[in-house]
Chain A
């Protein structure tokens, strides 16, 4: 199977626009929920929590745009969903569901998506355990058990999406700093 048979990578501008839409929706939801009085902690803690929520919203938005096509996006969405599930077990009040929680419907499909292993024989895998590869596996979500071919592929996609995400966020910051 050659790499050309993989699903074609999205047009970068298209990707940025889709990410921007979801991210803005999540931010608007954040704005709505921040006015709720359930946070009785002090100002600094509130600021920290809000910035964490913005970061999670950004990663979730990008992962949900990519959907379940990629192992890294599935891993991100799974992590976020588990984190919010654990937090809802701890919180007393039922919280309003954010728009980006609707991705839970797609997660049922992720078990059915077949992660194609191009090299069933690990001995033939030249990169399997070299030092840099281990570092890379820690950086790319969901990449711990992949063979090297899939790892390279996922890394390339992950970099493209991260770069697009950073550009959109930069544009947003510029837009709202000047107005």
Chain B
């Protein structure tokens, strides 16, 4: 039935919109900006790509610094409890 098919397609489009706006909420820039204006999906995708790239670069830089600090970590010993307290702040 064509009406049922149209409803299903509309549901899927709404679902996609919902997913895209969920993605938008995760991006750092959007949390400060007002969400009244509807941002086009292509812009959201572009910001998502940039954000992923920046996160990976940051992760790689931190990994390099950590590998340099590996010696001092071995000496002081790693305490997961301290880390847990820090992360919960």
A and B co-occur in one complex: yes
A residues bordering B, Cβ < 8 Å?
A: 2-3, 13, 16-17, 20-21, 24, 27-28, 30-31, 34, 47, 50-51, 53-55, 58, 118-119, 124, 126-127, 130, 132-133, 135-136, 139-140, 148-149, 152-153, 155-156, 158-160, 162-163, 165-173, 175-177, 179
Write the nearest CB–CB distance from A43 to chain B, whole angstroms: 12
> Are B26 and A160 in touch, CB under 8 angstroms?
yes
Q: Considering residues B59, B78, B87, which has the most beta carbons from chain A within 10 angstroms of its beta carbon?
A: B87
B residues bordering A, Cβ < 8 Å?
A: 9, 12-13, 15-16, 18-20, 22-23, 26-27, 41-42, 45-46, 48-49, 51-53, 55-56, 58-60, 62-70, 72-74, 76, 78, 80, 82-84, 86-88
> Are B52 and A159 in touch, CB under 8 angstroms?
yes
> Are A155 and B83 in touch, CB under 8 angstroms?
no
In the bound assembly, the distance between CA atoms of A20 and B85 in angstroms comes to: 12
> Are B69 and A176 in touch, CB under 8 angstroms?
yes
In the bound assembly, the distance between CA atoms of A136 and B59 in angstroms comes to: 18
> Are A155 and B48 in touch, CB under 8 angstroms?
yes
Q: A156-B23, A172-B66 are in contact. List 8 more A-B contacts (CB 8 A).
A: A17-B84, A20-B87, A24-B83, A135-B49, A139-B56, A152-B20, A159-B23, A159-B48
